């Protein structure tokens, strides 16, 4: 077994660290606080550092087989803080020789009118999309120059146990759904949308770290067929036994007013297109090359409802 450094302990970082520990690897998690975001996991060490400090991060990564880049600044701070974080991850990979496994998303593609595949150009025009695209382009350039070994794992909206804030099928939906309350959502509730199950993200992050043929390019996490948010809410409600739950669209006027007071709501304007039209990710390339498959949707729904029911019960 080998040593892995996980940078960040949000939902994806925590799930990746836990899976690595379950497989018997030595795991170190680097965060600003050095404290776990949830219950402690045997075999996972926590270290306090600023991941944007290249010297500190390189020191923490020495001897690592892989660096799993799962950290992200708060959404309103992406443009200002992502460049330093991305540069630090690359510097640590070069110094240590570890494989850099970057967790990415679909922002870099910008608005598209077809299912997203990894060969689409990174054509985003908004600042968040551009900064995420630049992070991967930097790593890929260093990989092609032979200075590091890098791979990016791209996912659509996270969904599943452990996803709370930031997930569109998380704190804005599940607590109310469990009580049978109507749900208000961003965008068109009937537009097809890809939802990536969090445990599948961790499985891919771990798999590509040791698959040399995966390195040097991005991959989409195996994801179940796209479903509208209305359909997902209906299926979650059926799983929870709460009966039909109403779903309505938040009006543009409400969002405009919310943006006056909430930096997060203001930042969401750039990516509103993801919910106003079909937003579909194609993951067939990964499935043709590697072993991870999307968890069956029924299992996703069952585990998510159970996790949220326990969270609400113990809150």
Instruction: List all residues 6 or more positions away from 84 whose beta carbon is below 8 Å from its beta carbon.
Output: 52
Distance, in Å, from the CA atom of 276 to the CA atom of 43, rounded to the nearest integer, reads 43
Asked if 60 and 71 touch (Cβ cutoff 8 Å), the reply is no
| Dihedral angle, C-alpha 179, 246, 265, 48, nearest 10 ° | 40
The pLDDT > 70 percentage for the chain reads 94
- Band (39; pLDDT cuts 50, 70, 90): confident
Entry pTM: 0.95
Token couple for 205? 């992050």
- Band (1; pLDDT cuts 50, 70, 90): confident
Asked if 81 and 50 touch (Cβ cutoff 8 Å), the reply is no
pLDDT at 22 over 60: yes
Instruction: List all residues 6 or more positions away from 238 whose beta carbon is below 8 Å from its beta carbon.
Output: none
Distance, in Å, from the CA atom of 17 to the CA atom of 8, rounded to the nearest integer, reads 10
Residues of the chain with CATH 3.90.25: 165-193+225-281+296-314
Helices 198-209 and 11-22 cross at an angle (nearest 10°) of: 60
- Region label for 101, one of left (φ > 0), alpha (ψ between -120 and 50) or beta (otherwise): beta
Average pLDDT over residues 150-160: 96
What's the full length of the chain, in residues?
A: 315
What tens digit of pLDDT does each residue of 98-126 get?
A: 999 999 999 999 999 999 999 999 999 99
Burial class (CB in 10 A: 0-12, 13-18, 19+), 113: exposed
* Residue predicted with more confidence, 38 or 210: 210
Average pLDDT over residues 10-28: 97
CATH code assigned to 3-157+195-220: 3.40.50.720
Distance, in Å, from the CA atom of 148 to the CA atom of 235, rounded to the nearest integer, reads 44
Residues of the chain with CATH 3.40.50.720: 3-157+195-220
What tens digit of pLDDT does each residue of 164-208 get?
A: 977 788 888 999 999 999 998 888 999 999 999 999 999 999 999
What tens digit of pLDDT does each residue of 250-266 get?
A: 776 565 555 555 666 66
Token couple for 214? 């995966």
- Band (34; pLDDT cuts 50, 70, 90): very high
Quick one: pLDDT at residue 86?
A: 98
Asked if 314 and 228 touch (Cβ cutoff 8 Å), the reply is no
* Strand order from edge to edge, sheet including 3-7: 44-48, 26-31, 3-7, 66-69, 99-104, 149-154, 218-220
Quick one: pLDDT at residue 177?
A: 92
Quick one: pLDDT at residue 252?
A: 67
Using only C-alpha atoms, what is the Rg of the chain? 19
CATH architecture of 165-193+225-281+296-314: Alpha-Beta Complex (3.90)
Quick one: pLDDT at residue 9?
A: 95
- Distance set, CA 52 to CA 57, 78, 288 (Å): 8, 13, 35
Instruction: List all residues 6 or more positions away from 176 whose beta carbon is below 8 Å from its beta carbon.
Output: 182, 183
The pLDDT > 90 percentage for the chain reads 80
Average pLDDT over residues 148-163: 96
Task: State the chain's mean pLDDT as an integer.
Answer: 93
Token couple for 129? 């999309």
């Amino acid at each position: 077994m080998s040593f892995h450094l996980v940078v960040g302990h949000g939902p994806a970082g925590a799930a990746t660290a836990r899976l690595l520990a379950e497989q018997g690897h030595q795991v170190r998690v680097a965060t600003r606080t050095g404290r776990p975001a949830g219950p402690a996991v045997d075999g996972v060490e926590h270290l306090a550092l600023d991941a944007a400090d290249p010297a500190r991060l390189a020191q923490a990564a020495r001897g690592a087989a892989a660096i799993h880049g799962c950290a992200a600044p708060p959404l309103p701070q992406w443009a200002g803080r992502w460049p330093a974080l991305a540069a630090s991850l690359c510097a640590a990979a070069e110094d240590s020789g570890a494989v850099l496994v970057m967790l990415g998303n679909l922002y870099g593609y910008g608005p598209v009118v077809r299912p997203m595949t990894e060969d689409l150009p990174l054509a985003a025009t908004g600042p968040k999309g551009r900064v995420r695209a630049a992070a991967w382009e930097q790593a890929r350039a260093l990989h092609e120059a032979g200075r590091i070994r890098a791979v990016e794992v791209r996912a659509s909206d996270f969904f599943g146990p452990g996803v709370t804030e930031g997930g569109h099928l998380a704190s804005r939906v599940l607590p109310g759904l469990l009580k049978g309350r109507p749900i208000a959502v961003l965008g068109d509730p009937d537009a097809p949308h890809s939802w990536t199950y969090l445990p599948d993200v961790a499985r891919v992050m771990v798999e590509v770290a040791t698959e040399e043929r995966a390195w040097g390019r991005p991959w989409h996490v195996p994801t179940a067929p796209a479903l509208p948010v209305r359909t997902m809410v209906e299926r979650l409600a059926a799983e929870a036994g709460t009966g039909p739950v109403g779903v309505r669209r938040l009006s543009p006027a409400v969002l405009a007013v919310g943006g006056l007071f909430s930096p997060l709501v203001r930042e969401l304007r750039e990516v509103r297109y993801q919910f106003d039209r079909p937003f579909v990710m194609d993951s067939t390339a990964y499935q043709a090359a590697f072993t991870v498959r999307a968890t069956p949707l029924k299992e996703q729904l069952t585990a998510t409802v159970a996790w949220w029911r326990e969270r609400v019960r113990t809150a």
